[in-house]
A and B are shown apart, each in its own frame.
Chain A
Amino acid sequence: MLAEKALELVRQQHRCIEGALGPFNEDGIRQVLEEMRALFEQNQRDTSATVAGEAGLFSSIQLRHTALERNKRCVLAYLNSRLEHIGQMRWEFGSVLPADVKYNLCEEEVQWFNNYNRMLANYMRAIGDTGGLDLTQDMKPPKSLYIEVRCKVDHGEFETQDGDIIVLKKNSQHFLLRSECEHLIRQGILEHIVNRM
């Protein structure tokens, strides 16, 4: 069947759309490109034959042309979807990708990622009053500047921006600036207490 491998590529990407990015299917792309080349060559032959005067080849040329277009569309969809996914990962993971994700990208995609990084960094440096604004923090608008946190494990001392030293002992509660606690909350050392009194 024509364009079946291209469909396979699209299906593969569709399966990964929610979860992690799958490995770059070089093989699949190569096969699709082979198919496209084979179709194109056949079309070339038929076109030259038609120019030379043979009739009755129009429909096959049309068919192969449509197949070519379909293949092109599928491959482009595959590549574009992967790039979008990689772009999203910048916002989730930060500018350094974890090793297992990087393993799944082909080289061009890595290059694309680096370019995207650079662009984002330039933009973020340009906005904001002094030194730029980090847009990748605080994806949801925070409700308050300060939050109440509870310490789940002994973590020792922690220094805040103002220089206050806070001893994080198990089961102690603290009231701190949100920006300072967030990375500790993400690590699981502190727990955010929502006070819906």
Chain B
Amino acid sequence: MLIKDLKRDFYDAIQHQRVLILVAFDVDALCACRILQYLLQCDHILYTIVPVSGKEELEKAFVDNSEGVQHVVMINCGATIDVVELLQPDETVTFYICDSHRPVEVSNMYNAVQVKLLMKADDLTDVPEFDEVFREDDESDESGNESEDSDGLSKRRKMTDESIARRQDRRKWEENRNKVIFDYTKFSSYGTAASLIMFEMVWKMSKDTNDLVWLAVIGVTDQFVHFKTPRDKYMEDVMALQSHVSRHNHRGEEDESLLSVNCLRIVFDEELQLSLYRHWSLFDSLCHSINTACKFRVWTLKGQKRLHEFLAEMGMPLTQCKQQYTAMDSQLRTSVKTMMQEHMTKYGLTMQDIVLPSFWAQYGYKTKLCASDVVLACAAVLEGVDKNKSATDYFLDAQDILQRSNTGWLEKGVVLAKRQLTALVNQVQTFLDMHQVISAGPFLYVFVQEVCSALLCSQSKVVF
């Protein structure tokens, strides 16, 4: 059942109770989890957090931890499966599902007692109606008829007309139901980010802070960076977040800001859509960002030449482009964006490839982070490939990265993200050089056999 008023139906229900939180393995879930943690710590609600990475782990975690727990919150997991049937909980256990995966399983949608969905109503417009999917059964009549059929023929004849009509009706309804469910579950997609929903709940309770805004930004950017939502949805969410950002980061018009430089400051800006360019060289970033790499075809010689041409036309000296971005001339750095926008059409790039309205954060004099970089770093840590550490260790490491005080960890994450991107581009280059891409009608596929070590064992959520 969908909850309209999150505070009343969710938050007030869990006051003074213990909560079990099951979190999925992605950046959006991590951010939503941290927002929820902050909220629960404010009100001293005891909780336990268990990371889960699939259906079996979900079952196992529930079975292990569910003694005495009446409230289970599931973040980015559980919407697409029938939780009550899978987990077989007691009657008193309530599930609160805040999941961006769609389509939502119909039994979750219409279970008014045990399952509460923390989602936006606009995301759920295509759920089939209750009557189309569930029906008061005539089955008891049917079975009664079957047993009576063994008696005299006359009785059979009397029942026949009504039972035939009922059976026909039922068959038609079942056919319709199957069709409706098939259409509904044909495609999977993503709804609003879990972190945004959590943030809005916190905002309605007036407990939001600048840090939580930054977490919500990261969660929404994660959805876009990993191609889970289209650009328009992302833009809507960004506009919603922008109002929150301006509310929290209003520093006044005077030159002296009222807050110290070490406080978090978030700024809305049109960001260059080059992955990790601030932590890398401009040339490397152009070669390894998915949009530009594809448009320039950097795996071919011709593509490389075009890229060099592009840089030359923009007036960027090649030696500087191949050095660290922070070491470039400041004039060049400020003009990169405008120059790219001027010269992009000649090379087949569009505005949408180059710039993305997004946010960056600054605290202290050294750290300036843009949201997509944080997303990439965090995702790279989450998908770590060291065999000695378990998946849950990575979960905790990724959580640590989101804490502002851990800039060292964040830098390690950035290094990992760079390695991942490089490996990815190399892999694609190998596939295309070896002509391993096979066309199979409506889609192309590649069979990944030998994978280079950085991608080994990682569940890269990258779309080829």
Binding site for B on A (CB under 8 A): 145-146, 148, 150, 157, 163-167, 169-177, 195-197
Of chain A, the residue at the smallest CB distance from B403 is: A197
Which 4 pairs of residues, A with B, have the shortest CB-CB distance? Answer: A171-B392, A173-B49, A165-B67, A175-B47
Q: How many residues of B contact A (CB 8 A)?
A: 26
Q: Is A197's CB under 8 angstroms from B48's CB?
A: no
> Closest CB-CB distance, A15 to chain B, in whole Å?
39
Do most interface residues of chain B lie in helix, strand or loop, or is the interface mixed?
A: mixed
Q: Is A165's CB under 8 angstroms from B41's CB?
A: no
> Closest CB-CB distance, A37 to chain B, in whole Å?
65
Q: For A171, what are the chain B residues with a Cβ–Cβ distance below 8 Å?
A: 51, 390, 392-393, 395-396
Q: Is B41's CB under 8 angstroms from A148's CB?
A: yes
> Closest CB-CB distance, A177 to chain B, in whole Å?
8
Any chain A CB within 8 A of the CB of B190?
no
Q: For A173, what are the chain B residues with a Cβ–Cβ distance below 8 Å?
A: 48-49, 396
Contact for B46 among A150, A164, A195, CB less than 8 A? A164
Q: For B405, what are the chain A residues with a Cβ–Cβ distance below 8 Å?
A: 196
Q: Is A146's CB under 8 angstroms from B49's CB?
A: no
> Closest CB-CB distance, B42 to chain A, in whole Å?
11
Q: Is A170's CB under 8 angstroms from B392's CB?
A: yes
Of chain B, the residue at the smallest CB distance from A173 is: B49
Q: For B47, what are the chain A residues with a Cβ–Cβ distance below 8 Å?
A: 174-175
Of chain B, the residue at the smallest CB distance from A174 is: B48
Q: Is A163's CB under 8 angstroms from B68's CB?
A: yes
Count of A-B contacts judged by CB separation below 8 Å: 60
Any chain A CB within 8 A of the CB of B18?
yes
Complex CA distance for A174 and B48, rounded to whole angstroms: 4
Q: For B45, what are the chain A residues with a Cβ–Cβ distance below 8 Å?
A: 175
Contact for A145 among B40, B44, B211, B403, CB less than 8 A? B44
Q: Is A167's CB under 8 angstroms from B46's CB?
A: no
Contact for A175 among B46, B50, B390, B393, CB less than 8 A? B46
Complex CA distance for A145 and B46, rounded to whole angstroms: 11
Complex CA distance for A79 and B271, rounded to whole angstroms: 72
Task: Known A169-B64, A171-B396, A174-B47; judge A148-B37 contact (CB<8 A).
Answer: yes
Any chain A CB within 8 A of the CB of B55?
no
List 17 additional contacts besides A195-B41, A197-B211, A197-B404; criterion CB under 8 Å: A146-B46, A157-B67, A163-B68, A166-B48, A167-B65, A167-B67, A169-B50, A169-B64, A171-B51, A172-B48, A172-B65, A173-B396, A175-B40, A175-B46, A177-B46, A196-B404, A197-B38
Task: Known A166-B48, A196-B405, A197-B404; judge A175-B41 contact (CB<8 A).
Answer: yes
